[in-house]
Amino acid sequence: MEEKVIVCKDLTKRFGDFYAVNKISFEVNKGEIFGFLGANGAGKTTAMRILCGLSHPTSGEAMVAGFDVYKQPESIKKNIGYMSQKFSLYENLTVVENIEFFGGVYGVSSSEIRKRSDNLIQKLGLTAEAKKLVGALPLGWKQKLAFSVAIFHQPRIVFLDEPTGGVDPVTRRQFWDMIYEAAASGITIFVTTHYMDEAEYCNRVTIMVDGKIEALDSPANLKTQFEADNMDEVFYRLARRAKRSGD
Amino acid sequence: MKQLLVFIRKEFFHVFRDKRTLLIMFGLPVAQIVLFGFALTSEVKDITLTVIDNSRDANSQQLIRKIKSSSYFIVNESSIDYNDIANSFKKGTTKCALIFPAGFGNDLQHGGKAQLQIITDGSDPNTAKTVVNYITAITTAYQQEISPSPQLPYTIVPESRMLYNEEGNGSLNFIPGVMALVLMIVCTALTSVSVVREKELGTMEILLVSPFKPLMVLIAKAIPYLILSLANFVLILLLAVFVLDVGIKGSILLLFMESMLFIITCLSFGLMISNTTNSQQTALLLSMMGLMLPTMIFTGFMFPIENMPKIFQLISNIIPSRWYFLIIKSVMLKGLGFEYVWKETLVLLGMTIILLTIALKNFKTRLS
Amino acid sequence: MSAVTLDHITKTYDKGKVLAVNDVSLQVEEGELFGLIGPDGAGKTSIFRILTTLLLPDKGTASVRGYDCVKDYKEIRNRIGYMPGKFSLYQDLTVKENLDFFATLFGSTIEENYELIKDIYDQIKPFSDRRAGKLSGGMKQKLALCCALIHKPEVLFLDEPTTGVDVVSRKEFWDMLKHLKQQGITIVVSTPYMDEAVLCERIALIQNGKIMSVDTPDKIMAQFPVKLYAIKADNIYHLLTDLRSMPEIDSSFAFGEYIHITLKDAGADIDTLQRNITQRGHTHVDIKLIHPGIEDSFIRLMNQA
């Protein structure tokens, strides 16, 4: 049996009488690329916050990297990486300083940081930019660096919140190469995106509508199930049913 | 014209829908008045006075009655031991003690000279000094009462009188200062933040792209805050009169016009700040830190400017609130007319014109 | 006369250190729906700000309906509608108050041009007393569009109107633009989403401040110089790495479940390629000749630059 790194059962988050997340259940396997889709306000962000140990669910169960979201949020945080489109790196620190800082935050030893950061900078082709401020890098490079920093401490799961928004088509693909590589090394990828072609790159995809999971399968199976040519169509059919909308 | 009115209405919506702005606008003056008016007052009232009367004769009892009938002290005629005084000072149950030695009346009647001991808490020197003065004054008065025909033909009785504040109302001096401070903070901070907020929101782009003249944007921003600041000014005056019992001696109209001038100075400051910053935090920090501190220090209502080093005295001349403070003090507390404050008014007017020109000149009709 | 003209426009920031717009020239015709397609940081917003008279170009000239963007900026400000990147609305004002304010600001009233916005406004009308800050992304977008339209502009500039909005709202938004175009308004719109390019009449592909191509989407796609194949197999990631190591492959990029490839030798035999791939252990290999999309063209042009 495959190792499960995320297990959710009837996970619910209620704000007053508003069910942001309504009894969602799913499992994510080790090394899987798991796409988490949904229109704005469908409850993606809330669900992701719970899984990252940042927010307590109202009811239901969830285990992340073997830890309980109710009792061990701190252990969860140590075993995951996180990257979002909005905040990822400090713009006024250099490339090296950012790596050192985030490595230090996650408790990677200084000698290990030095060793790994040299490798990383070389791999990303940032040798000439290592001492430059991150703010001066083009967006695509920033996002690639941010991802590398998010998996620098070799977490078991990395959560990516719309990592490729606004990035050019070539860099976007280079970014996905990095995701594949990380997944091949055993890191589980939990990713949200607005690009439907990226949904096809995932092993499995869930689509949330109004706080509930309306679809969960591989892209190929979803297309068959909804008799659609591509994921865009699948998504459109589901999201159109949504009654609520928000940010 | 209609555009301007709609714009001004919009600004009022912003103010009245934002609790924080309202709080700064109207909570701040109340808090400041209470703080400066009550907490920081130098006036002494209802001081607990422990009296140890070792003599218990007619004279000592008469004098104690005199002290009791003044409103300054709450007399505590305890029979505590002389040695316990230090303890009650430490506990804070008393601020001063008055000790009559045995045979006080006898000494006074027969020897013509009696002694009294006043012990005060020196850790609060201001209060201590005031207490000694009060008791000395009461004692002197009593002395004259019991010996109406002085033996010496020439008695000089010094009578000190605090001009313009005869009751020693400590909040008096603070009122003009608080007015300057509150107007400065409210006008400058709120104006600059309201302009910068439009930049952050991106609505500034639309405002600039519209046919509405860029200069009108500034005017439309300034007018609501001018009105609100005037309301604020009235609020402070009302608080001063009805809560702190500070009377207005001079012309209210003159006070109003001078305050309007000072408000425009502050508005210009706010607009200047908003021209150079792009984030609300920076704007707020600049107007709070950049202006509040100099206003507190260099206006002269907390620390007398005459006691400052020469260089600070020079700096204080370029602080607009200093001039406003002088004007308000003269008009409100001394009841002086325009003929006495025209010089200060002229300085303030000059500053306003310079600031306003800079603010308007630097306002960009485009982005950066 | 073109509705919008850019003639050798260059714009730099930070005293010339950052080159945002690099010698850009293009024309938008009257009544056209024109798209500026490119990723973040390509220079789209700078071009919009120059055209809306918010920024001065370093070099070159720009005009809107014949008025110079520098000299005649007041004229232009009377004639255009502009929707900046983030939906610039007053969050603490209601839907109706926002619309009312912007109408008055542009010297108009809601009633005067109600016909123009009716279809869009009807969708947010039930929320007209709700504060703009409490609206969803899609509704904010519609309100912002109403505010930009309320004075019946001759040219409408929309800077990334569909960013941060979900797929359903995006589709509705493009339908609205088509409808507006029928009313004779020239529309210039920018987007980072390549799939939205085909919804415009003509597009400019822009990257690093430079225009790579300006034409109709069909022509740009037709200009793709070589044959394009789509290929898939069971393990797509391994397929991608294998393709990169194969000498006969010129380029390979993942596109959803497929990988799009071009070959170095135009006359190469596909059956041979399929055999080579199968030999490397891939199963269910499927190769087909396809028509390139805008994203294929964009990637190709990017790599040529």
Q: What is the CATH number of the domain that holds B61?
A: 3.40.1710.10
Average pLDDT over residues A169-184: 91
Instruction: Compute the distance between CA of residue B295 and CA of residue B318 in angstroms, rounded to an integer.
Output: 11
Burial label, B270 (beta-carbon count in 10 A; 0-12, 13-18, 19+): buried
Which ipTM value was assigned to this complex? 0.83
Nearest Cβ partner for B209 among C53, C56, C104 = C53
Q: Is residue B228 part of a domain?
A: yes
Residue A13 reports pLDDT greater than 50: yes
Burial label, C258 (beta-carbon count in 10 A; 0-12, 13-18, 19+): buried
Average pLDDT over residues B323-328: 91
- Locate all alpha helices (DSSP H) within chain B, ordered by sequence: 2-17, 19-22, 28-34, 58-69, 85-91, 104-106, 125-146, 174-201, 203-209, 214-242, 252-276, 280-298, 310-316, 320-328, 338-362
Instruction: Compute the distance between CA of residue C95 and CA of residue C77 in angstroms, rounded to an integer.
Output: 24
Q: What is the pLDDT of residue C101?
A: 94
Q: What digits encode the pLDDT tens for the residues B262-285?
A: 999 999 999 999 988 888 888 888
- Least confident range from B47-61, C38-52, C93-107: namely B47-61
Q: Is residue B151 part of a domain?
A: no
B190 and B315 co-located in one domain: yes
Residue indicated by tokens 């000149």:
B361
Tell me how far apart the terminal alpha carbons of chain A are, to the nearest angstrom.
38
Which residue would you say has higher pLDDT here, B249 or C23? C23
C117 and C234 co-located in one domain: no
Does the beta-carbon distance from B209 to C54 stay under 8 Å? yes
**B104 lies in which domain range?**
47-146
Nearest to C171 by CA among A240, A210, A227, A228: A240
Q: What is the pLDDT of residue B179?
A: 83
Residue C100 reports pLDDT greater than 90: yes
Instruction: Compute the distance between CA of residue B110 and CA of residue B149 in angstroms, rounded to an integer.
Output: 16
Q: What digits encode the pLDDT tens for the residues B95-142?
A: 788 888 888 888 877 777 778 888 887 777 667 777 777 888 888 888
Q: Is residue B325 part of a domain?
A: yes
Distance from the A70 Cα atom to the nearest Cα atom in chain C, whole angstroms: 30
Report percent pLDDT > 90 for chain A.
54
Dihedral through CA C53, CA C55, CA C59, CA C65, nearest 10?
A: -10
Residue C298 reports pLDDT greater than 90: yes
Distance from the C35 Cα atom to the nearest Cα atom in chain A, whole angstroms: 16
How high does pLDDT run on average in chain C? 92
In chain C, residues with a C-beta closer than 8 Å to the C-beta of A200 are 256-257
B139: its two tokens: 């004692």
Nearest to C123 by CA among C110, C140, C111: C140
Q: What is the pLDDT of residue A97?
A: 93
Q: Confidence band (pLDDT; 50, 70, 90) for A23? A: very high
C287 and C259 co-located in one domain: yes
Q: Which of residues 199-218 of C touch A (CB under 8 A)?
A: 207
What string of DSSP letters covers B124-178? SHHHHHHHHHHHHHHHHHHHHHH-SS-SSS---------TT-TT--TTTTHHHHH
Q: What is the pLDDT of residue B329?
A: 87
The CA R_g of chain C, rounded to the nearest whole Å, is 23
Phi, psi of C65 (to 5 degrees): 50, 45
Nearest Cβ partner for A166 among C39, C165, C255 = C39
Nearest to C199 by CA among C185, C183, C212, C181: C181
Does the beta-carbon distance from B205 to C52 stay under 8 Å? yes
Q: What is the pLDDT of residue A65?
A: 93
C147 and C246 co-located in one domain: no
Nearest to A169 by CA among C116, C18, C65, C296: C296
Residue A243 reports pLDDT greater than 80: no
Distance from the A107 Cα atom to the nearest Cα atom in chain C, whole angstroms: 32
C-beta of residue C45 within 8 angstroms of C-beta of residue C54:
no
B197 and B339 co-located in one domain: yes
C83: its two tokens: 């929707």
Instruction: Compute the distance between CA of residue A193 and CA of residue A176 in angstroms, rounded to an integer.
Output: 12
In chain C, residues with a C-beta closer than 8 Å to the C-beta of B211 are 74, 77-78, 106-107
Q: CB contacts < 8 Å between A and C, how many?
A: 89
B289 and B263 co-located in one domain: yes
Report percent pLDDT > 70 for chain C.
100
How high does pLDDT run on average in chain B? 82
Q: Is residue B79 part of a domain?
A: yes
Q: Residue A246: which H helix or E strand, with range?
A: none
Does the beta-carbon distance from C91 to B201 stay under 8 Å? yes
B305: its two tokens: 């400017």
- C74 CB near a chain B CB, below 8 Å? yes
Which residue would you say has higher pLDDT here, A148 or B299? A148
- B10 CB near a chain C CB, below 8 Å? yes
Does the beta-carbon distance from A180 to C163 stay under 8 Å? no
Residue C191 reports pLDDT greater than 90: yes
Chains that touch C (3 or more CB pairs under 8 A): A, B
Mutate to test the interface with A, among C127, C207, C237 (most CBs of A within 10 A): C237
Does the beta-carbon distance from B210 to C52 stay under 8 Å? no
C162 and C257 co-located in one domain: no
Distance from the B134 Cα atom to the nearest Cα atom in chain C, whole angstroms: 58
Domain ranges of chain A: 4-42+49-197+207-220
Average pLDDT over residues A164-180: 89
Of C216, C237, C264, the one marking the end of a domain is: C216
Does the beta-carbon distance from C195 to A184 stay under 8 Å? no
Q: Provide the residue type at B330 as one letter.
A: S
Q: Confidence band (pLDDT; 50, 70, 90) for B155? A: very low
Q: Is residue B269 part of a domain?
A: yes
CATH class held by domain A4-42+49-197+207-220: alpha beta
Instruction: Compute the distance between CA of residue A50 and CA of residue A70 in angstroms, rounded to an integer.
Output: 9
Report percent pLDDT > 70 for chain A.
97
Q: What is the pLDDT of residue A38?
A: 85
Phi, psi of A48 (to 5 degrees): -65, -40
Average pLDDT over residues C280-298: 93
If phi > 0 it is left, if psi is from -120 to 50 it is alpha, else beta; for residue B81 that is beta
Instruction: Compute the distance between CA of residue C55 and CA of residue C6 in angstroms, rounded to an integer.
Output: 14
Phi, psi of A62 (to 5 degrees): -155, 130
C-beta of residue C71 within 8 angstroms of C-beta of residue B365:
no
B57 and B36 co-located in one domain: no
Q: Which residues of A125-144 are buried (b: 16+ CB within 10 A; e: fewer)?
A: ebeebbeeebeebebbbbbb
Q: What digits encode the pLDDT tens for the residues C146-189?
A: 999 999 999 999 999 988 787 788 888 999 999 999 989 999 99
Nearest Cβ partner for B206 among C84, C93, C100 = C84
Instruction: Compute the distance between CA of residue A199 and CA of residue A6 in angstroms, rounded to an integer.
Output: 19
Q: Is residue C186 part of a domain?
A: yes
Of B146, B179, B196, the one marking the end of a domain is: B146
CATH number at residue C166: 3.40.50.300
Residue indicated by tokens 């009559």:
B100
For helices C114-124 and C137-149, the axis angle rounded to 10 degrees is 170
B57 and B35 co-located in one domain: no
- A242 CB near a chain C CB, below 8 Å? yes
Instruction: Compute the distance between CA of residue C270 and CA of residue C228 in angstroms, rounded to an integer.
Output: 11
Instruction: Compute the distance between CA of residue C46 and CA of residue C50 in angstroms, rounded to an integer.
Output: 6
Does the beta-carbon distance from C104 to B367 stay under 8 Å? no
B294 and B220 co-located in one domain: yes
Does the beta-carbon distance from A201 to C254 stay under 8 Å? yes
B87 and B16 co-located in one domain: no
Q: What is the pLDDT of residue B156?
A: 52
Average pLDDT over residues A80-87: 82
Does the beta-carbon distance from C92 to B2 stay under 8 Å? no
If phi > 0 it is left, if psi is from -120 to 50 it is alpha, else beta; for residue A40 that is beta
- Locate all alpha helices (DSSP H) within B18-164, ordered by sequence: 19-22, 28-34, 58-69, 85-91, 104-106, 125-146
Does the beta-carbon distance from C168 to A246 stay under 8 Å? no
Distance from the A58 Cα atom to the nearest Cα atom in chain C, whole angstroms: 24
Strand partners, C231: C259, C287
- A75 CB near a chain C CB, below 8 Å? no
In the three-class reduction of DSSP (H, G, I as helix; E, B as strand; rest coil), residue A157 is classed as strand
**C298 lies in which domain range?**
228-304
Does the beta-carbon distance from C136 to A245 stay under 8 Å? yes
Residue indicated by tokens 């073997």:
A66
3-class DSSP string for A65-81: CCEECCCCHHHHHHHEE
Q: Is residue C222 part of a domain?
A: no
C-beta of residue C221 within 8 angstroms of C-beta of residue C297:
yes
C263 and C195 co-located in one domain: no
Does the beta-carbon distance from A40 to C195 stay under 8 Å? no
- C42 CB near a chain A CB, below 8 Å? yes
Distance from the C134 Cα atom to the nearest Cα atom in chain B, whole angstroms: 14
C74 and C29 co-located in one domain: yes
Q: What digits encode the pLDDT tens for the residues C16-34?
A: 888 999 999 999 999 999 9
3-class DSSP string for chain C: CCCEEEEEEEEEECCCCEEEEEEEEEEECCCCEEEEECCCCCCHHHHHHHHCCCCCCCEEEEEECCEECCCCHHHHHHHEEEECCCCCCCCCCEHHHHHHHHHHHCCCCCCCCHHHHHHHHHHHHHHCCCEHHHCCHHHHHHHHHHHHHCCCCCEEEECCCCCCCCHHHHHHHHHHHHHHHHCCCEEEEEECCHHHHHHCCEEEEEECCEEEEEECHHHHHHCCCCCEEEEECCCHHHHHHHHHHCCCEEEEEEECCEEEEEECCCCCCHHHHHHHHHHCCCCCCEEEEECCCHHHHHHHHHHHC
- C46 CB near a chain B CB, below 8 Å? no
What CA–CA distances, in Å, run from B356 to A134, B265, B269, C199? 40, 7, 8, 50
- pTM score: 0.82
Average pLDDT over residues C52-69: 94
Nearest Cβ partner for C88 among B14, B17, B201 = B201
How many domains, chain B?
A: 2
**Alpha carbon A36 to its chain's center:** 8
How high does pLDDT run on average in chain A? 89
C-beta of residue A32 within 8 angstroms of C-beta of residue A184:
no
B28 and B67 co-located in one domain: no
How many domains, chain C?
A: 2
Average pLDDT over residues B148-154: 54
Instruction: Compute the distance between CA of residue B5 and CA of residue B11 in angstroms, rounded to an integer.
Output: 10
3+ Cβ–Cβ pairs closer than 8 Å linking B and A: no
Chains that touch B (3 or more CB pairs under 8 A): C
Q: How many CB atoms lie within 10 A of CB B199?
A: 18
B108 and B189 co-located in one domain: no
Q: What is the pLDDT of residue B31?
A: 86
- Least confident range from B69-78, B236-245, C195-204: namely B69-78
Mutate to test the interface with C, among A33, A40, A229 (most CBs of C within 10 A): A40
Instruction: Compute the distance between CA of residue B115 and CA of residue C5 in angstroms, rounded to an integer.
Output: 101
Nearest to C51 by CA among C65, C34, C38, C31: C65
Does the beta-carbon distance from C56 to B366 stay under 8 Å? yes
Dihedral through CA A53, CA A56, CA A58, CA A62, nearest 10?
A: 20
- C284 CB near a chain B CB, below 8 Å? no
Does the beta-carbon distance from B210 to C105 stay under 8 Å? yes
Instruction: Compute the distance between CA of residue B136 and CA of residue A178 in angstroms, rounded to an integer.
Output: 88
C170 and C287 co-located in one domain: no
Residue indicated by tokens 């000698």:
A111
Average pLDDT over residues B47-71: 84
Of C188, C216, C244, the one marking the end of a domain is: C216
Q: What is the pLDDT of residue B239?
A: 86
CATH number at residue C233: 3.30.70.100
Nearest to A166 by CA among C203, C158, C193, C83: C193
Average pLDDT over residues C111-122: 90
Q: Is residue C12 part of a domain?
A: yes
C130 and C200 co-located in one domain: yes
In chain C, residues with a C-beta closer than 8 Å to the C-beta of A194 are 166-167
Report percent pLDDT > 90 for chain C.
72
In chain A, residues with a C-beta closer than 8 Å to the C-beta of C166 are 39-40, 194, 239, 245
Q: How many CB atoms lie within 10 A of CB B63?
A: 27
Instruction: Compute the distance between CA of residue B52 and CA of residue B82 in angstroms, rounded to an integer.
Output: 8
